[in-house]
Structure 1
Amino acid sequence: MSRSRTEAAVDAWEALFRSQVTLMRRFTAEDIWKPIGVREYDVLFTLSSSPTRALRLHELNEEILLSQPSLSRMCDRLTAMGYVVRQSDPSDRRGTVICLTEAGADLQRSIGRKHATQIARLVGGALDEVELAELDRLCTKLRRTQAGLRNTQAGIE
């Protein structure tokens, strides 16, 4: 008896989710994150990936798996440590953007090099080049499809 499309989707999701949980546990078990944690690093990485190294809180929140109040408090802590600053949005002075500082960029690069080594060892060590390319393609397709659905549902084209 063949599986239904729903069963196949559930099985694929569970495999993706469980592998991500397993990898995150392995990543966080290693002592490369000091003086911040994995979630703080994710904020610095997301800001460093932005062309302006600055995002509004709601834009940052779209990329981070935290509630907006938790993200706001985290940005306050990162500000106190000197890794980000809050500034007026140059395109709309009524708004505020979270900006990566040079100290934040330096820390992100330092931790990022160590994290890239982890990724190469744990992900690259488990999959060959063809599998890595396929995983990238599938995850990118899944993310873009869901982002497109979210934008369509919000009335954004």
Structure 2
Amino acid sequence: MTDRRLAIDAWESLFRAQHEVFEQINGDFDDTLSQAEYDVLLTVTRGIDQTARLRDVTANMLISQPSVSRLVDRMVARGLIAKCADPDDGRGSLVRATDEGAARFRQVATAHGRAIAARMAVLSDEELAHLRDLTAKLRGSSDAGYPHR
């Protein structure tokens, strides 16, 4: 049986660590690319031909489906992504990074990756792998311990 007090202490520590790290690296985002836009482009640029199904983008976001739809529409208007019907799903849509969107993503991703690596450098590689596996387990992932890029 899990010790309730320990579980609460661990949760609070995890929550506070996430919040503090987020605040420290939040400066990576600006008018060039917001964090939410970055998250959309992260999913899209990983897809074949820098394209993803809108439902996959939505599944990777921490905001509601209507909010994702509005965000995608704003990104289309800004020229960061293009949106079209999914030929394999009559009700779905595909989103593709434009050259401008992909370029902005790469620019921010480089700085963001450096900031994350610098902040996480307080942990050893073994600790980072353990943290990754523990957080995957907390998210209910059945693939804790899988190799990552």
Give the TM-score normalised by the residue count of structure 2.
0.81
Q: 2:36 aligned with 1:39, yes or no?
A: yes
Post-superposition CA distance 1:66-112 (Å, at most 9, x none): 11111111111110111111111132244212222222111111100
Please give the root-mean-square deviation of Cα atoms over the aligned residues, in Å.
2.4
Q: Equivalences for 1:16-31 in 2 at 5 Å?
A: 16-28=14-26, 30=27
Q: Of 119, 126, 140, which aligns to 1:130?
A: 126
State how many pairs are aligned. Answer: 143
2:137 is matched with which residue?
141
Q: Secondary structure at the match of 1:145?
A: coil
Instruction: Detail structure 1 runs of 4+ shifted over 4 Å in the superposition.
Output: none
Q: Of 50, 69, 72, which aligns to 2:69?
A: 72
Give the TM-score normalised by the residue count of structure 1.
0.78
Identity of aligned residues (%): 35
C-alpha displacement at 1:32, in angstroms?
A: 4.8
Q: State how far apart, in whole Å, the 2-side matches of 1:132 and 1:116 are.
A: 15
Query: One-letter code of the match for 2:128?
Result: L
1:97 is matched with which residue?
94
Query: One-letter code of the match for 2:86?
Result: D
The answer as to whether partners of 2:55 and 2:92 remain within 8 angstroms in 1 is: no
1:107 is matched with which residue?
104
The answer as to whether partners of 1:32 and 1:114 remain within 8 angstroms in 2 is: no
Q: State how far apart, in whole Å, the 2-side matches of 1:131 and 1:31 are.
A: 25
Q: 2:9 aligned with 1:11, yes or no?
A: yes
Q: Which runs of 5+ in 1 are unaligned?
A: 148-157
The answer as to whether partners of 2:28 and 2:108 remain within 8 angstroms in 1 is: no
Q: Which runs of 5+ in 2 are unaligned?
A: 144-149
